[in-house]
Amino acid sequence: MEYPVIDTLIAPEGRLEVLSRTEIAKLLDNSQSGLHQVFRNCALAVLNCGNYLDDGKLLLERYPEFDINIIQRERGIKLDIKGAPASAFVDEKMIRGIHEHLFSVLRDILFTSDEFTAHAGIAAYSSVAITDFVFHILRNAEVLQRTPNPNMVVCWGGHSISRTEYDYTKKVGYEIGLRSMDICTGCGPGAMKGPMKGATIGHAKQRITTGRYLGISEPGIIAAESPNPIVNNLVILPDIEKRLEAFVRTGHAIVVFPGGAGTAEEILYILGILLHPDNKEIPFPLIFTGPAESAAYFSQIHEFIGATLGEVAQNRYQIIIDDPALVAHCAQEGIQEVREYRKLHSDAYYFNWKLKIDHAFQQPFLPSHEAMRSLNLHKRQESHDLAANMRRAFSGIVAGNVKVQGIAAIEKFGLFEIHGEPEIMDPMDGLLSAFVEQQRMKLPGSHYQPCYRIVR
């Protein structure tokens, strides 16, 4: 099948109108240490907006002739784009939101490279340095805004959800928007798009013209979760760990909708952080929600958490079924507690500095076959450490499902093997099997081939 493409030449609007020769050289460098391949792949994902795939490798294969280069002129730069998906254009003119997203990608890739180079060495891998790294990326993207009232609700959930579940996410987003709260998601389709879409209507009814729809992604996942067109502030973090930290540092409440392995990874990430003794007294509203048809899904999630992390972890969230207004009300009340706590402890509203994020949640996990086999999945450790290791297991499954390198590794070496105690493996196997049965691992209509094997 052929996919229509367009060649074009575009100039930036407002930012990055000029680049240094060194920056351009980095972006054109196709070597292992160069940025061209990362920039090209992220740019293609942005241009593929609306044509949802959950396979980064397939996207690259669909547009093999796509390329993007920098042209330096006296009055600034232009992007020379070849073989871009035609769906990114109207009457051969690039859609403005996609245009903005392209230059967000350029901004973040360059800044991340410069920041990492400037702080190279052991210090760059310390916990404090990583948090500063995330802060600098968000500040450079103008995400961190001083405000008298914190109001950012992070919404997590799957790209592969039913129509009923998707409509429900819109209703929740609408109720959030009516209460003057903003939305942050992983910026893709499904449960990442629905809340933003609903919030736009809620904001419109309240005559709010400054609504923020923040999308946070990373190069490994963006091809499978192309930014949806509602996102008005896109930020690309360098890896999944820094992406997750960006969510919890900028968000004031988290609402979790149904999803698959990626959503389970996110749940384990936030629970592992909240279970750390240093975070015991820090308020952080965490709500699991879905329509009536999703009640069994959340019941199984709840049982999985109880079986692996225990009742203490279950007490850190609430489950609300089929009540969008209550979800928004509880998020609003929880955020008020967050405001009072941060005011009392002189913590910023725009960045959660006091939250302790253990280094185990910050260190990038590269899901090789050996790394997946070697995960410590047993109960002879602190619950937050177990959450960190279980998160890595689900992160590896996400990589094997949708990320280019993960898919290639599975094709070359076979399935990931996940070893652990039966007390951990049995609930995990049950949860993953349910995700497969409910088609939460792939977009509807796609046949899912597992990338993993549970070994007890």
The tens digit of pLDDT for each residue in 338-379 reads 999 999 999 999 999 999 999 999 999 999 999 999 999 999
What pLDDT score does 389 carry?
97
3-state secondary structure (DSSP) of residue 313? helix
pLDDT band at 456 (very low <50, low <70, confident <90, very high): confident
Residues 213-247 have pLDDT tens digits of 999 999 988 877 889 889 999 999 999 999 999 99
Give the integer Cα–Cα distance in Å for 44 and 375.
34
Helix/strand/coil percent split, the chain, to 5 = 50, 15, 35
Print burial letters for 366-391: b (CB count within 10 Å at least 16), e (below 16). Answer: ebbbeebeebbbeeeeebbbbbbbbb
User: In a 3-state reduction of DSSP, which class is residue 158?
Assistant: coil
What average pLDDT does the segment 160-167 reach?
Answer: 94
Residue 15's pLDDT band, with cuts at 50, 70 and 90, is low
pLDDT digits (tens, 9 = 90+) for 390-437: 999 999 999 998 888 888 999 999 999 999 999 999 999 999 999 988
Mean pLDDT of 87-101: 93
Q: CA nearest 166: which of 123, 228, 78, 90?
A: 228
- Predicted confidence at residue 342, as pLDDT, reads 96
Q: Which residue's structure tokens are 């210090």? A: 123
Given a cut of 80, whether residue 447 has pLDDT beyond it is no
The CB-side HSE value for 268 (13 A sphere, CA atoms) comes to 26
**Can you tell me which residue has the tokens 């294969």?**
61
The gap from C-alpha 116 to its chain's centroid, in whole angstroms, comes to 21
- pLDDT recorded at residue 122: 46
pLDDT tens string 189-209: 999 999 999 999 999 999 999
Chain segment 109-155, per-residue pLDDT in tens: 999 888 776 665 545 578 999 999 999 999 999 999 888 899 999 99
Say yes or no to pLDDT of 33 above 70: no
Q: How confident is the model at residue 32 (pLDDT cuts 50, 70, 90)?
A: low
DSSP 203-272: HHHTT-S---EEEEE-HHHHTTSPPPTT-SEEEE-SSHHHHHHHHHHH-SEEEE-S-SHHHHHHHHHHHH
pLDDT digits (tens, 9 = 90+) for 283-333: 999 999 999 999 999 999 999 999 999 999 999 999 999 999 999 999 999
User: Hey, what domains does the chain have and what are their CATH numbers?
Assistant: 5-118 (3.30.1850.10), 122-456 (3.40.50.450)
Whole-model pTM: value is: 0.93
| Cβ neighbours for 380, distance < 8 A, ≥ 6 positions apart | none
Percent of the chain, pLDDT > 70? 95
- Residue 268 near residue 387, CB atoms below 8 Å: yes
Mean residue pLDDT of the chain comes to: 91
